[in-house]
Structure 1
Amino acid sequence: MGIELKVGAEYLHKGATVSLVAEADGIAMVQLKDSSHVLPAMVSELSPVPTANEKLHSSMAIKVTDWERAASLATAIQQGLKDEAGLGDLVKSIAADFEVSTRQAARYIAKYRENAGPMALLPQKPGPKVGTRNMAVEMELIIAKNIESDYLREEKPSFDHLYNCISVECRQAGLKPPCKNTIRRRLSTLASELKLRRREGSKRAKEKHGSAAGHAPADYPLQRVEIDHTLCDVILVADTPVREVLGRPWLTLAIDVFSRMVVGMYVSFERPSSASVAMCLANALLPKEAWLAANGVVGDWPCQGVMEEIMSDNAMEFRAMALRRGCEQMSVKLQHRPIGSPEMGASIERLIGTVMGRVHLLPGTTQRNTVEKGDYDAEKKAFMTLREFCTWLTEQIVSNYHLSLHKGINKPPIVAWNSHFGDSPPKFKGTQLEVLGAFLPAEQRVLRRVGVEFKGGNYWDDKFLKWVGDDHKVAVHYHPLDASVVYVRVPNGELVIAKCFSRTPRDGLAFADVRRRGSQERASAKDPRIVQKKDESHARMKSLLEESAKRTDAARKTPPAPSAPVTMMSHEAAPRITKSRPARIAEGACA
């Protein structure tokens, strides 16, 4: 509750006034007012005693006769106190006029002095006050301790587990275990927010009990754009004759907060990254005519132009260097919403929910969870490719979502957009190449004689000739879905489109397809028959080397056989060997 606890001070606990005896580890020992009973209570259950002005009662819950009697009684006591009559005479007068005993009349006067007004004189229900506990202090401590240690945990222990722990500890202490309803009543007094926070986490507690009033408004289109990713609840297949199952795609969406128009989208099987954000923002900035034509969609999608602010969550891809530099280049403010505050991105979260609701109608949908999916075989029912899904999604956005009434703005998004701009819609003044160079992911490479070596391929343009041989490091921007070209920032700052000239063409392939194709080609080297032949050859060469080594070692260890003796001749018998000298070459003669 955030109150300052002081021993001996009075607090309100479940409707009863109590005084604090001791407090430790979130558990307080309190004593009921006008009673000797001491019982444990959670600190979160204590609240300050309300003042006279704070004691508000619902007038609809009070009977008319009770209210009139209390008002008359208050008036009589007030008048008696003003007349400075003796207290004994006033007690007798009140007892006679309202037909109560003198003891009860004295209680009325005491209550009025403590809290002047008819509220204090209303009849009270008979019986013990709400929150009164008559159980032994030792048992109350056991119950409170086990609730704290064996129930309020993230493992979410069951009620039976809690009751078993309490029963065992009570028997060990020589006490009779309480009944289950007693434990249930103790649990019912716990604050719902406390139980949810301790058993399911602070995030879940905030979602249910926290305020969701925060939001990030916008006063005009393109003032603020929200962006986020989601894993689509549908399975897609490959665009091949076999149509093998590929899995669920990732969708990146950007929405204009003011008009609720979808300004950009991107679909891919790759996990969210800076490339996903770059492609979505490139789609948001550029005109959509080429996109609509490529997907065969007939409709009006007027969104284009540079936004003032981009708001996202705190994921790593939204903090990438490429995105920050791209936003700085385009003079766009990059804003991250506070951690744990999804309500600050309410527009994009609602859009994702709306889109996924329509995705759940497609064959191959996985639904939101396994319970809703049931026995539905999503992989068997799936038949859409990534390109077909992208076309379907574009059609849904342009011809359905933009033209439907949006409850948040009480009009269709396309109407909100057009009514603001009228006959002067925004126009993006840059080129597509500039956008791609600003937001596409990039990697450093060295410019060589073969051009740029990038992801297993060589890319070249004649403009590289000026810098060939100097080993310049250049930034290579790439489109994840187009491996046929890359965008190279040459040393003079110009962005050059370099085409791939590798032995295997990459036209119409994404880098993921190139990587997959390379893996398939390399897989041929793992053919069991080829591997077996290599192993056999290796064994033969190893045997050859071992035999050769053995023969050489044996030859070196065995001494050579003795040769025939050589007869030595005497010095006199030996023939005289004369050496002939070459003729002297005359001086100056040519060799």
Structure 2
Amino acid sequence: MNTLTYHGEKPQAFIPDRARLSLERNAFVRYGDDVYRINQVLDFKTVVGIDVYSGRAAALPVDGLKPIAQERLDGLYVNYDMESISEEQWAIAKRRFEAIEPLLGDVVRTKAEIKARALLYEVDTATVYRWMDRYKSWGELLALIPRKRGWQSGTVRISAEADELLDEVIREYYLSKTRPTVSKAVSEFRIRAQARGIPMIAESTIRQRISRISDKQFLRGRGFADKARNSYTPSPGSFPGADFPLAVVQIDHTPIDAMVVDDVHRKSIGRLWLTLAIDVHSRMITGYYLAIDAPSVISVAMCVAHSIIPKEEWLIAHGIEGDWPVWGFPRVLHSDNGADFRSESLRKSCSNYGIENRFRPVKRPKYGGHIERLMGKFMQAVHGLPGTTFSNIQQREGIDSDAQAALTVSEFEVWLVREILKYNAKYHAKIFMSPLHKWNVGIFGGRDDTPAMGLPPRPADPFTIQRDFLPAYERTVQHYGVELDVTYYSEALRPWINAKDDSGKTRKFIFRRDPRDISQLWFYDPHLKQYFKIPVANQSFPATSVWEFRAAKKQAVEQGLANIDDDLIKRLIIENRELVESAKATTKKTRRLAQRQKIHQQNKTPALPAATPAPTIQITARPAGYSGLVDDLDDGFEDIL
């Protein structure tokens, strides 16, 4: 066993927090130091809560609420990195989810339904209940992975029959509206055990198991939640298509049909790439990602994270007033068959959050019609901007797009977000209302008794969501640190230097990294179940993207330099940047490189938006043949499928 003693300053640990804030009626939440039961959901911003201790009602802001802390049971994998789970374990967890999926949702399930699923999957009824409890408590596939064999500290060896009976007594007797004491629960276990011929277990074992019940389970089970819910609430396992918000989210990339300019000289640096996500049911745009670089795994990761995470901080950071009340996990992520959408890291991250990856049939574009038409309409609006390239050569004839380009990347992004908010609020002919209204009806219900799904669970920690979708790598830890393009080191790695696995081979560990900034990476400690930020070993090494680093390394190799080292690469990167600085006023390519470096160094992500004021957009040039304001160019959005 490797020692976990650190020499010098102890590195800061980041514990994965995949908790979701339930915003349904009768759910328990924390606001400040107090616990409230949600009595009424007023809108996307406010709920009415009843203080569980004083009984007083209060209006609570949604963005200030926190979920009730869950007890982490020994042996569960809920705080693991997804890449640390074997394919065999994933397969077991998926089969267990398959067994309980039709039973999930907010409708009351009969014992007969539970028993039928148990018979179909050849397990005990109590086992199905236990799987349901775990998944509902944690909301992630990791909770269904078989618990580790062997005894964790604080656990007691009891028979499988006694274990199932104990779960039954807690679920059916202790967590009931009669609110029996722990002593009565012990007596109830003794009575049932004698009737079934099961040996009695120690009273301390029963009390220990009861002490592990989370606050949320305890309060809900003992009479603070309704027994029955709206039987029309959509169930994750029953929808045939996009029948409610977040049932299906489509995602795709497109190049922007307009040139943008750099921040310094305001000269053209070329086109940007847009990754966009849309909720098929409501046609609501759920998230986006804007980049200078061509689409990649990081484009998908950032767009999916942005789609899931609440948008309030994002709008504030961009200085935009408006509402974008979208957050939550989609049931299905629908995309084309590109390698960036089929990556193993994305597949596992989606699977853990209950997101099913579906891909369009090859050469069948109609299956991506919603997102394709949405992007087409956005490009029509872009065609009214200075610097537009239009969509074909015939339209572009006689227009110098580079010369007319006027918007910087940040200015274009502000324009884009405003267009998204306008699109969400405009009438849509195919759904006979605006996407925003359709979204509201799907969440809260309509005048005609339209079924309502309620507010989707709100992610508690945006950083965990974002980190889970970053590309993952497996590497060994050597005495000098870990090698991933460059060398990284931190005291957090010391306990695992030259560690061996069970077969005696050098053990590999999981690292995650944002390729736009390789000055640091995330190390997952398999013993502590925590992440540590690991900096590049050479502290003078500049913050750079993986593309910039590899370009410099290639340059060194082409120069025939035999010994490639970090100091050489660092020097070449700095020299290249100086070259770009001296040349960026003259050529588009070097201006584009300089702007990319600047954007990557800002490290703006969905979880940590850069707090910059909204730039003032001045349209100084218009393509020939176009007139009117940019704000009037969104006509026609209403006919998007």
- Shorter-chain TM-score bucket reads 0.3 to 0.5
TM-score by length of 2: 0.44
Larger RCO: 1 or 2 (CA < 8 Å, sep 6+): 2
Bigger helix share? 1
TM-score by length of 1: 0.48
Which is greater in Rg?
A: 1
